[in-house]
Structure 1
């Protein structure tokens, strides 16, 4: 679809030619004036509406995100956020504020990690909720590609994960989903759910990670207990299983290292 067609469908207008932006491995992303249009050739049913719900959920909890103008099965129209200077301390304040919030239970609407569908649900026991909602679906989808690591993954969740309390999470918080804007740090492309903050912290240690400037500020604002630090490899298994699913067996070595560190 031409991004201008989606703007027309939403009753919005932007002049000029679409400017391609980086959209990762899933979406085609364009800037048209004040708008960002996200499209995908064959998106799974519910992908863009789920992203819109996640952005709104983060905004309701005090996180800067692009405003959602329109969401449909065909695509998403967001506010364009002009780029600003890096502000790692500001990002630490925003994330510590998010992670300190508490909700009544662990919960998620049906959603996605990338384009991988994840079920909705609710629970009060964290380890069981995390395994059934996040690990088990990916484990079933990748079992035949894990070269015998499947039972080792299952065994990781036989012992309880530490629980500080149900907190709202971005859910896919690698550095590519952070944008520094003129008004401060903002988050993009969430896989929102309510869980333990270790899930976000674990992803923030993968794939290049965040600089020490961020971690010093975050830990000063919201210290990370030793038991949460020790659990981070078990949370990283979630994201590494997803990478095996999307990109293949080249991630098995990283998966094995996370299992061994758990």
Structure 2
């Protein structure tokens, strides 16, 4: 991998040499490295087994968030679109983490400011990825239609194709999707969402400055974003208090939350297998009965 990264740095006009190259946590999909040259420090992702535009989508998502001037993201220095079998590389600013007591509150405030950046419709002008899975973001005037047709239906179809839906689970999921209008609104205000916001996709830099990383951006219901933050352990209570001071969640949020979390659980079911089946089943039973 070092020669690949060296060539990418040369395209960035940093001839090196690479003085330090260490593997770091980069999620379940990519290899990730801390790299220090004579000139700079970098966070670098690399992957050979993803579509050529995989890192392009991430870079453009970071750019779109940065353009809101509401919350920090790492600077993107370089990315490529490799031919099949070649390695994709994304080179970004290295952020030194420094979590402080006020950081969660600041994060909640800044995320709310980002969510206040609206659009006229729901979706995005390009597909994105959730893990390795492609997300169609075709624009829609109805959030209910978008969530049903661009989020839940594709995961249902993928689960059918990969045989992760026993008959009873499939029947309940299909019934739930047909009844979504009982709980999911047609016309909330479209907010710019990170799209994959769990605890591993934000960090606190020096002086307690929050950063978003690994986005899968979309314009959607801000409650959809907050629901996912609560799925795998949640964020600090000060984050939610600060967020709601600026952008309150709807009165119906607690009824909607499991339905929004269902999407991410289906993604995990399709990517990682049956260990995510029981939480899916609990949500389906709650809304469709035994």
Q: Structure 1 length normalisation: TM-score?
A: 0.94
Which of 77, 81, 84 is the matching residue for 2:98? Answer: 84
RMSD: 1.6
Counterpart pick for 2:42 among 35, 41, 49? 35
Matches within 5 A, 1:78-157: 78-86=92-100, 87-108=103-124, 109-143=126-160, 144-148=163-167, 149-157=169-177
Matches within 5 A, 1:5-16: 5-14=7-16, 15-16=18-19
Contact 1:142 1:245 in 2 (8 A): yes
Match of 2:68 in 1: 61
1:254 positional shift: 1.0
CA distance in 1, matches of 2:165, 2:278: 10
- Unmatched 5+ stretches in structure 2: 82-87
The aligned counterpart of 2:24 is 21
**Matches of 2:224 and 2:175, distance apart in 1:** 18
CA contact (8 A) 2:127 2:135 kept: yes
> Of residues 258, 267, 284 in structure 2, which corresponds to 1:242?
267
The structure 1 residue matched to 2:284, chosen from 241, 244, 259, is: 259
What is the aligned residue count? 262
Shift of 1:52: 0.6
Once the 2 structures are TM-superposed, how far is the Cα of residue 119 of structure 1 from its aligned partner? Answer: 1.7
Structure 1 consecutive aligned stretches of length 4 or more whose deviation exceeds 3 Å: none
State the Cα deviation string for residues 191-228 of structure 1 (Å, max 9, x = none). 11111112211110111111212122222222212213
Structure of higher CA gyration radius? 2
The reply to whether residue 204 of structure 1 matches residue 229 of structure 2 is yes
- Per the TM alignment, residue 13 of structure 1 is displaced from its structure 2 partner at its CA by 4.0
Q: Show structure 1 runs of 5+ residues with no match.
A: none
User: Aligned in 2, Cα 1:253/1:60: closer, same or farther, shift over 3 Å?
Assistant: same
